[in-house]
Amino acid sequence: MFIKRTTKHVKGKAYHNYLLVESVQTPKGPRHRVVCSLGRLEPGPREQWLDLARRIAAALGGQESLFPETDIREWVGKARSRSVGPSDVLAPDVVRVHTDRVTTERAREAGPVHVGHQIWKRLDLDAILARAGLSQRARCLTQIMVMNRFIRPCSELAMPDWVRRTALGDLLGTDFEGLFEDALYRNLDRLHPRRS
């Protein structure tokens, strides 16, 4: 979609109208189809027209904005009332979300721990620790401790709270709600004799 300016001359005076237009394939080749009229008002600087067209197209396709804009809602309403464009045939996988009803629960830090977990896997550290005789639980605790040292170093006493604020539990498939510092201290005791 794009915005096209049309000019009409009436009694020597030029009137400008802005249209949201899409290219459609017809038997006679590609043609422009008017989705809606944006009116005589200039929709901002010409450099912003493509962005505006994209936002309107997204709204017509069912994509709601987190920060709804009144003018875009009006244009989308006009386009829908004309019964043309992408709003006619919404894909069956389109899901409408009421952004004013969205809440977050238990937000956790994912980016840094995901990168750390990928490095852990590439270095094959789990296999190295398994060959050293560590159990699955000990290897999991060791990974937690290593990630903590890379991302946000803290004491073993504070580490359980840090782990619960990250997505490490999801990445490792383990629930860390019952993790206490004692388990981390015991894990250090297991690792210490195996150092090289």
Q: Residue 66 pLDDT more than 70?
A: no
pLDDT digits 0-9 by tens, 91-138: 566 677 778 888 888 888 999 999 999 999 999 999 999 998 899 999
Residues 122 and 74 in one domain: no
Reported as a pLDDT band with limits 50, 70 and 90, residue 144 is very high
| Helix, coil or strand: residue 20 | strand
Residue 103 lies in a domain: no
Q: What is the Cβ-side half-sphere exposure of residue 78, based on CA atoms within 13 angstroms?
A: 15
The 3-state DSSP class for residue 121 equals helix
Rounded Cα distance, 46 and 18, in Å: 11
Q: Are residues 83 and 116 both part of a single domain?
A: no
Strand order in the sheet with 13-26: 2-10, 13-26, 29-39
pLDDT band at 146 (very low <50, low <70, confident <90, very high): very high
Residues 75 and 17 reside in one and the same domain:
yes
Q: Which residue has the higher pLDDT, 72 or 29?
A: 29
Q: In which domain, by residue range, is 72 found? A: 2-88
Name every residue whose Cβ is closer than 8 Å to that of residue 80 and which is 6 or more positions away in sequence: 60, 87
Together in a domain, 73 and 121:
no
pLDDT at 89: 45
Which residues are CB-contacts of 26 (< 8 A; sequence separation ≥ 6)? none
Residue 59 has pLDDT above 70, yes or no: yes
DSSP 27-50: TTEEEEEEEEEEESS--S-GGGHH
Cβ neighbours, 10 Å, residue 49: 19
Q: Residue 78 domain-assigned?
A: yes
Residue 15 pairs with which residues in a beta bridge?
A: 8
Check whether residue 62 and residue 125 sit in a common domain.
no
Q: Report if residue 93 sits inside a domain.
A: no
3-state percent helix, strand, coil for the chain, nearest multiple of 5? 45, 20, 35
Q: Is the pLDDT of residue 196 over 90?
A: no
Q: Which residue has the higher pLDDT, 18 or 157?
A: 157
- The token pair at 28 is 């006679």
Which of residues 149 and 4 earns the better pLDDT score?
149
State whether 129 and 64 are in the same domain: no
Residues 127 and 171 in one domain: yes
Amino acid (one-letter) located at 56? I
Query: Is the C-alpha dihedral spanning 98, 91, 57, 75 positive or negative?
Result: negative
3-class state of residue 26 by DSSP: strand
